[in-house]
Structure 1
Amino acid sequence: MMPLLYPYCHYLQYYATLVFILLLFPLPIAITVKPGSLEPVDLLYNNGIQAYFQNDWESAIEYLEKALHNYDKVRKVKQDCRSKCEGETQFHLNVTDGFFQDLSFFDTILKKADCLKFCETLLLGPISLHRLSREVENDFQERVPYNYLQLALFKTERLTKAIAAAHTFFVLNPDDEDMKRNIKNYRIMPGVKASDFQDLEAASHWVLYNAGVSLYEVEKYEEAIQQLEMSLLEFLSEYEKCRALCDGPYESEESEESKGEESSQDLYEVIADHYVQILTCRQNCIQTVSTESGKSSPTEGFLPSYFNYLQFSYYMAKKYDKAAECAKTYLVFFPSDETMQQNLQSYEALLGQEMTASIPPRENLRSVVEQSLMEKKMLHFAADSLGIPFTEQDLWSSRGTAPQSTKVKQRVEKSRLMSSVAPKENAFGKKDDNPWGDKQEDGDNLPFPGVTVTFDSAALKGSQRVVMDGVLSDSECTQLLELATTGGGEGHQGRRSPHTPNERFSAITVLKALKLALQQAVAWDGALVYHTVTEKVRLLVESYFNTQNPLYFSFTQLICRTAAEGKQENRSDLSHAVHADNCILDPEEKKCWREPPAYVFRDYSAFLYLNDNYEGGDFFFTDLDAKTVTAEVRPKCGRLVAFSSGGENPHGVQAVTSGQRCAIAMWFTHSEQNQEQERLEADELIEKSKTSQESSEMGDVKEDAASKKTAGQGRRWSGNAKNKIPKAVSVDTPKEKDEL
């Protein structure tokens, strides 16, 4: 017998009034909609919620599915109409007289407003019917209708659709404890397949992008190019759609007390406020489209990353002109990127200087960057002159847009914030200073026996640094080296290193290792050791450095660096150039600026070594000049180097001149918002494997008992609209809930 669902109500007071109204008006609200008009989304949504609370599941499904459909239709119409009217009503400000310039400008504004009204009314009906309240808009943005829909579908025994609706909600709301239980219990229902867990709102560009990267990692470059190019087109389309929807109504931040009062702003102040709001929304679109479903933050440098993958893929496909084009396009985003500049020089050697010079970066991407830079300059001007706050969000092409006065304010604010943790004469303190206040290192109370502190900060001539030994056993190192060899995704030696042309580079994340283990492509024991030991390191770092707040994983990789052609003589480059992990190192000024594109949210770094049978590859710390080496560490099995991620700890890796060097690289953050989402998925996979193992060990007897326990136990839904619906699917002891 299928388990029933029961609710957990926790927004009762907030929605008591709504429930009272629903009880007074038991039938769905009806309004007259002219033939040819689209039914209003908020009306359909409201009717769906009413039907839901009356246990009229069929009507609830009909209204909610239609509301979701019409919501998408309204957005598409608005996007198309804005695009159409943008093309038909261009600004022509070639009039020299200021009075007539104003008339010309507002004449275009009026024509554009008329165009939009005509277009939207023609396709949707009266515009006023399709203006959603902020609360309803937020519900659709947060996928709340799918939460209602999943229970209604479950109640009508449409299990596959119920699972897809539940998963669609859960992807964007992974912290919802009740839906976590729903998903967990859906997974153990008879006949449920992994393919049933679909994200119905998954952005197509992310699906194509992930497919392209997967093909790239297995060196299928021609196929990777096809997927990545299609993904890029979809990305730019979604980006433009997002920007089009920014041209919406003005969202005033006036208080409740001031509502209804006459505004004291004049015409140009009102226009400026509204336009800054629109520009800010447009700037945020890069982050919106760069955020994968289920992730709490955008993928850093997502748009430029297309051209990093594409330039190398085209190179491997021997399409050198396209590789040069993509390299030049990447440099539009990051003009000073040394690796890409070197790549471009390589393409120039293949194509010839004249032909390479004739290949421009992609025009549509150059326009995206130039448009973004212009908007940033306007927003910085508004912040500097009008006092309208603006914070840059994307991590590319951002420097140089702020006026000097704003930069001065930012530096002053940064100095004020840093003053409690750093000497005034240096943004991150000198080598012998301790910018970490009274925080002390504690090597006497490590949480794991057998782990010893080999070198502390004093021995390493710095602050917040440590080397530990005994973190791994020899057998664990062997298991992890085997995992790196079989699961790295690039063969034994990997692809060309992003840091030097003289080495090969391969990497595998914890989640990827576990997925490969489930597919029996790598040993499960090795993947489990990988997961376990990284958690061990997190606890060691927390304990040794006495962090006041918990640490979360920011990113984790098992990385192998291999000398490209056996032993290499007289190499002058490094395996990884000197850098800091959460700030931009400026060796000339001997400072480190904690600002994008650095990973500013990282707080601690750690490297756990697996072997020492190679030449070169020593880890080293330097001063802020990136030249003066303060300490060197020779890797070996089970040795851990850990340190704070800021400018107090610049570091690098010497060239690997022979053999293969493998280590687990880990970065940690105090920011829960910036924790690694893949890690959470990996934890869930581990938990799921334990649950499956326990279920198989317990056999059919417990399953029959659970069925008997839930059979005949009538459970009712209690709730209200703000309760956001279906709560835990339960196969355990049921609890009765009363209705309101």
Structure 2
Amino acid sequence: MGDVKRRNKNILKSEETIKTVENIKKPFEKVPLSKGLPLRILSRVVVITSLLIIVYFSSKESVITFAKQTELLPGKGLIVECSPEYMNEIIKYEGCAPKDCKRLVTDKVISEREAEELLKIAQKGLKFGGSYGGASILDLHSGALSKGQHFVNIYKIKEMQNLFTQNDFNVFRVVKEKIKFTIAHHFGVQPDKIFLTHPTFFSEITPRKAVTVHDEYWHPHVDKETYKSFHYTTLLYLGDYGIDFKGGRFVFINDKSNSTIEPRKGRLSMFTSGRENPHYVEKVTSGTRYAATISFTCNKIFAIDDPGVDKYEFKS
């Protein structure tokens, strides 16, 4: 009789244990992803994850130097297959669709003197700001300037009223026009069909540790997905890799091996802004890296005017 009671108690304990385990499992039951996260966020997660996987595996293979700092390149290009999303959008704009999607580097469009003048303009503004982290920007169009963990507007600060002269803005405009016509020539589009767009800015990158998400410039990304207005991206380098700074190479992400562009003062890099050109910037390990991002759109809604002294709220 005692054995029967003990057996019954063991059965009851076993049943309680099973129920407890089942209750523990319930919170971990799978929930359909569509109910947990918006589709837009899920798609971004998938894209970012895919890029990170490509970077991880590509890093284990060879890295091709597409443009060395020591080279003086009249023009070097690589045609890539346009992403369907990019072409489906840009084909709507007559005279603006590229003959080919590509990457192009040239050292013959912007002179070293022009690059020096732009560098002085960038440094003149950035010295009044500066991020706590390693990346700062100055946007002459919007007036945005990195300062601490936030941004200030240079055109709304009375003490910065005469910081930039009309001559400074003229230098920027001349360089912008040269870049615009270079895009038109190499991509086979009409120059009056592409427009300066936002954001267009100077960047200053140092080895300082990132403090905010705005300092984390090294993540793989696609420009068109980061900036809706972009159709053509150009980068103008204002310093020399290996001389003014170390690290900070521009890296195109490819299936088999990544390709790098080593910045050179006055070097212009151009590419279509779609998924055909995913990329990132290596972390700067020493020195200071300066560059200008000058972007163009086919959609006139996103066009911006050239910056000028009329931007200032305080008139002299």
Q: How far 1:546 sits from its partner (Å)?
A: 0.6
Instruction: Report the equivalent of 1:630.
Output: 258
Q: Counterpart amino acid of 1:674?
A: F
Matched, 1:480 2:118: yes
Normalised TM-score (structure 2): 0.56
Q: Counterpart amino acid of 2:220?
A: V
Q: Counterpart amino acid of 1:532?
A: V
Q: How far 1:629 sits from its partner (Å)?
A: 4.0
Structure 1 pair 629–607 and aligned structure 2 pair: CA distance change class (3 A): farther
Q: How far 1:605 sits from its partner (Å)?
A: 0.5
Are the equivalent residues in 2 in contact too, given 1:488–1:506 (CA < 8 A)? yes
Instruction: After the TM superposition, list the runs of 4 or more consecutive aligned residues in structure 1 that deviate by more than 6 angstroms.
Output: none
Structure 1 pair 453–630 and aligned structure 2 pair: CA distance change class (3 A): farther
Instruction: Report the equivalent of 2:108.
Output: 470
Instruction: Report the equivalent of 1:650.
Output: 278
Structure 1 pair 658–401 and aligned structure 2 pair: CA distance change class (3 A): closer
Whole-angstrom CA distance in 1 between matches of 2:284 and 2:216: 8
Match runs of 1:165-314 below 5 Å: none
Q: Secondary structure at the match of 2:251?
A: strand
Instruction: Report the equivalent of 1:529.
Output: 171
Match of 2:235 among 607, 614, 619: 607
Q: Secondary structure at the match of 1:466?
A: strand
Match runs of 1:429-468 below 5 Å: 453-457=74-78, 463-468=101-106
Q: How far 1:574 sits from its partner (Å)?
A: 7.4
Are the equivalent residues in 2 in contact too, given 1:605–1:643 (CA < 8 A)? yes
Whole-angstrom CA distance in 2 between matches of 1:401 and 1:470: 42
Q: Secondary structure at the match of 2:223?
A: coil
Normalised TM-score (structure 1): 0.25
Whole-angstrom CA distance in 2 between matches of 1:675 and 1:484: 22
Are the equivalent residues in 2 in contact too, given 1:484–1:508 (CA < 8 A)? no
Are the equivalent residues in 1 in contact too, given 2:137–2:201 (CA < 8 A)? no
Whole-angstrom CA distance in 2 between matches of 1:401 and 1:477: 39
Whole-angstrom CA distance in 1 between matches of 2:79 and 2:227: 27
1:115-139 Cα deviation digits (max 9, x unpaired): xxxxxxxxxxxxxxxxxxxxxxxxx
Relative contact order: is structure 1 or structure 2 higher (C-alpha 8 Å, sep ≥ 6)?
2
Q: Secondary structure at the match of 1:636?
A: coil
Match of 2:202 among 558, 563, 568: 558
Q: What CA RMSD, in Å, does the superposition of the two structures yield over aligned residues?
A: 3.7
Q: Secondary structure at the match of 2:265?
A: coil
Instruction: Report the equivalent of 2:221.
Output: 579
Q: Secondary structure at the match of 2:301?
A: helix
Q: Secondary structure at the match of 1:485?
A: helix
Whole-angstrom CA distance in 1 between matches of 2:274 and 2:140: 24
Structure 1 pair 401–582 and aligned structure 2 pair: CA distance change class (3 A): closer
Q: How far 1:603 sits from its partner (Å)?
A: 1.1
Are the equivalent residues in 2 in contact too, given 1:483–1:523 (CA < 8 A)? no
Instruction: Report the equivalent of 1:495.
Output: 131
Q: Counterpart amino acid of 1:495?
A: S
1:64-107 Cα deviation digits (max 9, x unpaired): xxxxxxxxxxxxxxxxxxxxxxxxxxxxxxxxxxxxxxxxxxxx
Match of 1:619 among 231, 237, 250: 250
Q: How far 1:669 sits from its partner (Å)?
A: 1.0
Q: Secondary structure at the match of 1:620?
A: strand
Whole-angstrom CA distance in 2 between matches of 1:480 and 1:399: 42
Structure 1 pair 630–522 and aligned structure 2 pair: CA distance change class (3 A): same
Match runs of 1:266-415 below 5 Å: 399=39
Matched, 1:545 2:187: yes
Q: Secondary structure at the match of 1:578?
A: coil
Whole-angstrom CA distance in 1 between matches of 2:131 and 2:309: 30
1:271-318 Cα deviation digits (max 9, x unpaired): xxxxxxxxxxxxxxxxxxxxxxxxxxxxxxxxxxxxxxxxxxxxxxxx
Q: How far 1:639 sits from its partner (Å)?
A: 0.4
Q: Secondary structure at the match of 1:652?
A: strand
Whole-angstrom CA distance in 2 between matches of 1:400 and 1:520: 44
Whole-angstrom CA distance in 2 between matches of 1:464 and 1:475: 28
Mark the runs of 5 or more structure 1 residues left unpaired by the alignment.
Answer: 1-376, 378-396, 408-450, 498-502, 566-572, 584-597, 687-740
Instruction: Report the equivalent of 1:669.
Output: 297
Q: Counterpart amino acid of 2:253?
A: T
1:133-157 Cα deviation digits (max 9, x unpaired): xxxxxxxxxxxxxxxxxxxxxxxxx
Are the equivalent residues in 2 in contact too, given 1:553–1:668 (CA < 8 A)? yes
Q: Counterpart amino acid of 2:259?
A: A
Identical columns (%): 27
Whole-angstrom CA distance in 2 between matches of 1:536 and 1:511: 22
Q: Counterpart amino acid of 2:137?
A: S
1:376-404 Cα deviation digits (max 9, x unpaired): x9xxxxxxxxxxxxxxxxxxx853699xx
Instruction: Report the equivalent of 1:507.
Output: 138
Are the equivalent residues in 1 in contact too, given 2:115–2:266 (CA < 8 A)? yes
Whole-angstrom CA distance in 1 between matches of 2:238 and 2:164: 18
Q: How far 1:485 sits from its partner (Å)?
A: 1.5
Q: How far 1:471 sits from its partner (Å)?
A: 2.8
More strand by share: 2
Q: How far 1:558 sits from its partner (Å)?
A: 1.2
Instruction: Report the equivalent of 2:95.
Output: none
Structure 1 pair 601–633 and aligned structure 2 pair: CA distance change class (3 A): same
Q: How far 1:581 sits from its partner (Å)?
A: 1.0
Whole-angstrom CA distance in 2 between matches of 1:656 and 1:401: 30
Q: Counterpart amino acid of 1:466?
A: L
Q: How far 1:560 sits from its partner (Å)?
A: 1.2
Structure 1 pair 644–518 and aligned structure 2 pair: CA distance change class (3 A): same
Q: How far 1:578 sits from its partner (Å)?
A: 1.3
